[in-house]
Amino acid sequence: MTQVSSSTELVTEAVLRAQGVKVYYGTNLAVRDVTLDIPFNKVVAFIGPSGCGKSTILRCFNRMNDLVASARVEGKITFHGRDLYASNIDPVETRRRIGMVFQKPNPFPKSIFENIAFGARINGYKGDMNELVEDSLRRAALWDEVKDQLQESGLALSGGQQQRLCIARAIAIAPEVILMDEPCSALDPISTLKVEELIQELKQQYTIVIVTHNMQQASRVSDLTAFYNAEATEGGNKVGYLVEYDRTEVIFQNPTQQATQEYVSGRFG
């Protein structure tokens, strides 16, 4: 059994709480026994080697795994204390309240304006659409760059702008949590910096979980860091698990597990 240290002092109020979560793809166990709390208005980073199940766990939080026919989630995930996987919970409503930004920017082939208005429309937004679009773009630090081309295709933007458009799109529907799966991995350093600054801004109002392979990024933007690792079973499958979860400076400077120490210092595997 893995040890998971937890510093109780930093857990203000858990927005999301995973307890003994296991995820299967078909009959293969992909991740086991993940227990962690995501506290209110904090940035939590998920780090770990490829294939250890970071994305998988992330996708459990907004029930995106429901869309993968073979995926099965066991254990308990609560959102403000309510079981996310209870039969009376609507996954569609869950996804409105827990937004997601993907690894590759995926703006819709629509105008910049429509990219943002889309989510608001389908969720029955009754306010002023122009205001909402402007406000979301401003908060995503994109307004000044695109304000004169709102009717142009979102696909005409650069990769970094596209990713900020996707962030704007996500915050336009007023989620409480934003899940980000390697949001900067397809971006150049300058765009990455912009997105990181943006995350610092967004932290004031949103709870953020970010998966990243970039150690500096994790240490720069996050308050807490979860390190995952994978081990091979007898069958030859790799099963991911949570090694250590603590305040980011503890993980990077003084981790309790040796694997964590090796991973964050780049002496891994």
Ligand X SMILES: Nc1ncnc2c1ncn2[C@@H]1O[C@H](COP(=O)(O)OP(=O)(O)OP(=O)(O)O)[C@@H](O)[C@H]1O
Per-residue tokens: 29: 């166990």
Among 7, 12, 68, 265, binds ligand X (CB under 6 A): 68
Among 96, 213, 220, 247, binds another protein (CB under 8 A): 96
**What sign for the dihedral angle of Cα 247, 53, 241, 79?**
positive
Give the residue with the Cβ less far from another protein, 162 or 257: 162
Q: Segment 173-212, which members bind another protein (CB under 8 A)?
A: 173
What is the closest distance, in whole angstroms, from the C-beta atom of residue 40 to another protein in the complex?
A: 21
Give the residue with the Cβ less far from Mg ion, 55 or 229: 55
Please say whether the beta carbons of 255 and 261 come within 8 A.
yes
Q: Which does 143 bind (CB under 5 to 8 A by kind): Mg ion, another protein, ligand X, none?
A: none
Q: Segment 237-266, which members bind another protein (CB under 8 A)?
A: none
Q: Which does 51 bind (CB under 5 to 8 A by kind): ligand X, another protein, Mg ion, none?
A: ligand X
Please say whether the beta carbons of 44 and 218 come within 8 A.
no
Among 10, 11, 129, 155, binds another protein (CB under 8 A): 155
What is the closest distance, in whole angstroms, from the C-beta atom of residue 129 to another protein in the complex?
A: 15
| 93 lies in the site for another protein, by CB under 8 A | yes
Going by the DSSP 8-state scheme, the letter that residue 153 receives in this structure is B
| 115 lies in the site for ligand X, by CB under 6 A | no
| 100 lies in the site for another protein, by CB under 8 A | yes
Give the residue with the Cβ less far from Mg ion, 115 or 212: 212
| Residue 168 burial (10 A CB sphere; 0-12, 13-18, 19+) | buried
| 102 lies in the site for ligand X, by CB under 6 A | no
Strand-by-strand arrangement of the 177-181 sheet: 82-83, 71-79, 14-25, 28-39, 238-247, 224-232, 43-47, 207-211, 177-181, 98-101
Q: In the chain, which ranges are E strands?
A: 14-25, 28-39, 43-47, 71-79, 82-83, 98-101, 177-181, 207-211, 224-232, 238-247
What is the closest distance, in whole angstroms, from the C-beta atom of residue 50 to another protein in the complex?
A: 19
Per-residue three-class SS string for 94-149: HHHHEEEECCCCCCCCCEHHHHHHHHHHHCCCCCCHHHHHHHHHHHCCCHHHHCCC
| 102 lies in the site for another protein, by CB under 8 A | yes
| 55 lies in the site for Mg ion, by CB under 5 A | yes
Going by the DSSP 8-state scheme, the letter that residue 68 receives in this structure is S
Q: Which stretch binds another protein (CB under 8 A): 38-46, 169-177, 204-212, 244-252?
A: 169-177
Q: Which does 50 bind (CB under 5 to 8 A by kind): ligand X, another protein, Mg ion, none?
A: ligand X
Q: Which does 238 bind (CB under 5 to 8 A by kind): another protein, ligand X, Mg ion, none?
A: ligand X
